[in-house]
Amino acid sequence: MRSARPNEKLKLGAMFHPTGHHVASWLHEGSQIDAGTNFRHYASLCQRAEQAKFDLMFLADAVAVRDGDLGPLSRWPQYMAYFEPITLLSALASITSRIGLCATATTSYNEPYNVARKFASLDHISGGRAGWNVVTSSNLSEAYNFGREAHYEHDARYDRAFEFVEVVQGLWDSWDDDAFVRDRASARYFDPTKLHTLNHKGKHFSVRGPLNVARPPQGHPVIFQAGSSEVGRELAARTAEAVFTPQHTLKGAQDFYRDLKGRMAKYGRPPEALKVMPGFNPVVGRTAAEAEEKHRYLQSLIHPDVGLILLSNALGNFDLSNVDLDGPLPKECDTHVSNMGQTSQKNVIAWARDENLTVRQLYQRFAGARGQRTVMGTAIQIADEMEQWFCGYGIDGFLIQPPYLPGGLDEFIELVIPELQNRGLFRTEYEGPTLRDNLGLKRPTSRYAETASSRVAE
C-alpha cells in the first residue's frame, strides 16, 4: 500500500484542547484539571510533541463565554478559563525550536492590521514557525463583545474573510526581505525604496499600512483554514495552505480532497500548495479490548446536559430541552436554518437519518470527538487506518486530537509514532527549521519583488 506515495510522508498536527478533545476529558482522573491556565502543562505537551517530530501544535480559540443555562454549562469548561493563544504560543516559542505554533484568530472580530502584526511577531519570535488558522466564528455570543447585536450572516462573514486574508498578506509584504540594512557606518537603518504602503480600500476594510514589523522569516506565516461548506472550500482553495476538516469515511475524504484541490487551479495554485489534514481522535490500547474500554469509560463520563448542549450547538442552537433522549432526532432539525457552522449540522442530521441513531447516541458520538472521527484500537490498527487514508489520497496528514491530556498524547507518541516511522510513513527528523520546511510548502515571494522582476523582464 505504501508504494502509492513513496516520496511523501504524513503531516501530523497535535490539537490541544486544555484537558483533551473528549468533552468529558476534564473528569478523567488522568487529565490536568486546571489545564486551561497551567503554563507548565502546555509547555510539557509542546515539548513532548516536538520530541516526537510533530509538524505543529494547534490551539483553537473563541472570544466569548458560551451563553445558555449556567447549570448545564457549569459541567462543560470549554472556552470558560484558558489562555489567549498568541500570548501562550509566544511563550512556548522560547522553549522549543522546530515544532510549528498555530492558533485560531477570527476574521469576524479582529482587524487585519492587528492579526498581521501578531502573527508576524510570533513568526519572528519562533524563528519561522507561526501558523494562522482563519475562522469566521461559529459562536454567536462573540458578537456581543464587539459592539454588535447579532453575528454576521454565514456568507457575509466569509465575504469579509476573503478580503481580510488579502489585506493581512499584503501587510506581511510591507517590507522587502533585505529592507533593514542597519548600517552604522552610513547611519542608515533601512532602505526607503524597500518599504511598501498597501493603501487597501475595499468593501469591508480601509487599511493604509505599512506594517511596523519586518517581513516574517517564512515570508508569510502558514495559513490554515477549517471551513468545509461550499464558501469555506472556496476560501481554502484561494488562500489556505492547510485545511482542518471533519471527515468520517474514506470515500467522503477522497471526494473532499479531490474537490478542494481541483478548485485551486483557477487561483493559479498547484495542488501540493495545500495540505488536507482531517481531525483524528485516536484511542490507543495495547489490545483492541483495552482501547474499547478506555473509550467506553470516557463516554460514561458524558453528562446528558452537556451532551444536549453540544448537540444543540452542532444543530445551530436547535432547542433539544424537551426531547426524548432515547427517541429519534426531531424532524424539524432537518429544515432548521442556522447562522452557525454548517458542516457539523449536516453531519449530525446524516447520522440521525442514515443510521437511525437516537438523540443519546448522537450526542455520545458527537461529544466523544466534538464532531471529528474517533478511531479505537492497537497501534497497528490505528496506523493501518492512517496509512489507508494517506495512500488512498483522502488526506495529506491528520490533526491528532488526544481524547485526554497528557495521557492520550503520551500513548499516541509511545505506541503509534514508532509504528508509523517503521513503515516509512512519518519522519524521524525534521526537514528544516521552519513550519514551511516541514510541511513542504514554498516560501512566498513578496508581491513587490514579483512586480520588480516583471519590470526588469520587460
Give the predicted TM-score (pTM) of the model.
Answer: 0.90
Decide the pairing of beta strands 222-225 and 275-284: unpaired
pLDDT at residue 269 in the model = 97
**How much is the pLDDT for 338?**
58
Which segments in the chain show pLDDT lower than 50? 456-458
Which pLDDT score is estimated for 314? Answer: 72
Q: For position 256, what pLDDT does the model report?
A: 96
CA separation for the pair 389, 250 (Å, rounded): 6
For residue 210, say if its preceding peptide bond is cis, omega within 30 degrees of 0: yes
DSSP state of 370: T
Instruction: Give the single-character DSSP code of 130.
Output: E
Torsion angle defined by CA atoms of residues 83, 282, 302 and 136, in that order, rounded to the nearest 10 degrees: 50
Describe the crossing of helices 39-51 and 85-93 by its angle, rounded to 10 degrees: 60
List CB contacts of 172: < 8 A, sequence separation 6 or more.
Answer: 116, 120, 211, 215, 216, 219, 220, 221
Question: What are the boundaries of each domain within the chain?
Answer: 9-289+372-457
**Tens digit of pLDDT for each residue in 113-161?**
999 999 999 999 999 999 999 999 877 788 899 999 888 887 888 899 9
Topology classification of domain 9-289+372-457: TIM Barrel (3.20.20)
Looking at residue 456, what is its pLDDT? 47
pLDDT for position 217: 98
Distance CA 388, CA 391 (A): 5
pLDDT of residue 255: 96
